[in-house]
């Protein structure tokens, strides 16, 4: 099979199209002939040499794919052969074939094509596990996502809206803010021109925000504490501006705040399978009804993975960047 190899840690041009034997599915796994693969920020960090894959995971980049199940490992029901699926991988997505635990696969929604389906798993699994499982966002609550125009952000806005929250977002340009509002945000704040703390405090009648999803870190950490409502929940899933900050914890005490964080990739298959079950039961019907659709910024052929990574690093995109692989 053809796949993208990281020749050595470094800039996007270290990504090279090479060939190797396709993998064989083990017990509980399926082999997927990949149609498309999503690009995600962890892929960039792994390419740079700062995010090694967990023990036993494929060293090949790529955390989400869409495609057809063409082979089965042991303990997998034969009915899965030929299924069109999208899947959260443990690595290996930038390739013509990838093995994935069957429990991490979901059916391709009938209203989406393979490119759109490939953009679902990483963001949907991440948002569901952090916003709904960990932070327990409820209908009628307020929700803020930083980086609202990112793949995570565009997914979080739509999911929070679907389940009845008042949604806010931050983004870096007026155009990106407009996209956030078009997707369902009540107010998106251009953080380069406005103080989101001031704007959103006013928008919530100074009550603050119930749930905040943050991938920025840095000084956003202390600002999130100030903005959070009584009994608020703040979830960090990345620290693009650093993981260290000076924080006054008195508001955490007085407002009874919950500060939490998580990473998805190291979690066991049982945990990821539970998230997949929740998504299939609770989100997939909304996708089939046309209430949710991934935002695709641009696609690249597999051989142009370096160009896709350069675009990701520029942060000029809105939504998802996807590699087309087979077909």
136-175 tens-digit pLDDT = 999 999 999 999 999 999 999 999 999 999 999 999 999 9
Residues with Cβ within 8 Å of residue 115, at least 6 apart in sequence: 35, 36, 66, 296, 299, 322, 324
- Mean of per-residue pLDDT scores for the chain: 97
What is the reported pLDDT for 15? 98
Residue 176 has pLDDT above 80, yes or no: yes
Rounded CA-CA distance 232/143 in Å is 10
For helices 174-183 and 151-162, angle between their N-to-C axes, nearest 10 degrees: 30
Nearest residue to 105 (alpha-carbon basis) of 82, 126, 92, 89: 89
Q: Where are the beta strands (DSSP E) in 20-126?
A: 29-39, 64-72, 84-88, 97-101, 105-107
> Does the domain formed by 2-120+265-324 have CATH 3.50.50.60?
no
Q: What is the DSSP letter of 56?
A: T
* CA contacts within 13 A on the Cβ side of 135: 36
Rounded CA-CA distance 35/257 in Å is 43
Residue with tokens 């641009």: 298
Rounded CA-CA distance 138/95 in Å is 39
Banded model confidence at residue 34, pLDDT cuts 50, 70, 90: very high
What is the reported pLDDT for 152? 98
Average pLDDT, stretch 29-52?
Answer: 97
What is the reported pLDDT for 108? 98
CATH topology of domain 125-261: Rossmann fold (3.40.50)
Average pLDDT, stretch 224-232?
Answer: 98
Residue with tokens 């704007």: 199
Instruction: Please list the residue range(s) of the chain that carry CATH number 3.90.180.10.
Output: 2-120+265-324
Mapped onto helix, strand or coil, the DSSP state of residue 189 is strand
180-219 tens-digit pLDDT = 999 999 999 999 999 999 999 999 999 999 999 999 999 9
Instruction: Please list the residue range(s) of the chain that carry CATH number 3.40.50.720.
Output: 125-261
Cβ atoms 207, 144 nearer than 8 A: no
Residue 253 has pLDDT above 90, yes or no: yes
What is the reported pLDDT for 168? 98
Residue 327 has pLDDT above 90, yes or no: no
Residue 247 has pLDDT above 90, yes or no: yes
269-319 tens-digit pLDDT = 999 999 999 999 999 999 999 999 999 999 999 999 999 999 999 999 999
């Amino acid at each position: 099979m053809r796949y993208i190899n990281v020749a050595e840690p470094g800039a996007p041009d270290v990504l090279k199209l090479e060939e190797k034997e396709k993998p064989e599915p083990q017990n509980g796994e399926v082999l997927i002939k990949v149609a498309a693969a999503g690009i995600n920020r962890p892929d960039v960090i792994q390419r740079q040499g700062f995010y090694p894959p967990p023990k036993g995971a494929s060293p090949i980049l790529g955390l989400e794919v869409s495609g057809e199940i063409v082979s089965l490992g042991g303990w997998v029901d034969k009915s899965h052969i030929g299924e069109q699926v999208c899947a959260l991988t443990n690595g290996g997505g930038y390739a013509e074939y990838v093995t994935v635990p069957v429990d991490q696969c979901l059916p391709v929604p009938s209203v989406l094509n393979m490119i759109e389906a490939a953009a679902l798993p990483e963001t949907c699994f991440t948002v569901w596990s952090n916003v709904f499982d960990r932070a327990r966002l409820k209908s009628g609550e307020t929700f803020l996502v930083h980086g609202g125009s990112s793949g995570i952000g565009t997914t979080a806005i739509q999911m929070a809206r679907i389940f009845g929250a008042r949604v806010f977002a931050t983004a870096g340009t007026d155009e990106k803010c407009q996209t956030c509002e078009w997707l369902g945000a009540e107010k998106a704040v251009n953080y380069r021109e406005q103080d989101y703390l001031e704007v959103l405090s006013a928008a919530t009648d100074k009550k603050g925000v119930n749930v905040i999803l943050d991938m920025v870190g840095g000084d956003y950490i202390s600002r999130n504490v100030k903005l959070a409502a009584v009994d608020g929940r703040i979830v960090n899933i990345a620290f693009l501006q650093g993981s260290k900050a000076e924080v006054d914890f008195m508001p955490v005490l007085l407002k009874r705040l919950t500060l939490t964080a998580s990473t998805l990739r190291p979690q066991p298959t049982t945990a990821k399978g539970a998230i997949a079950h929740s998504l299939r039961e609770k989100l997939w019907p909304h996708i089939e009804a046309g209430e949710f659709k991934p935002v695709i910024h641009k696609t690249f052929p597999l051989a142009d993975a370096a160009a896709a990574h350069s675009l990701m690093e520029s942060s000029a995109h809105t939504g998802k960047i996807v590699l087309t692989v087979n077909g």
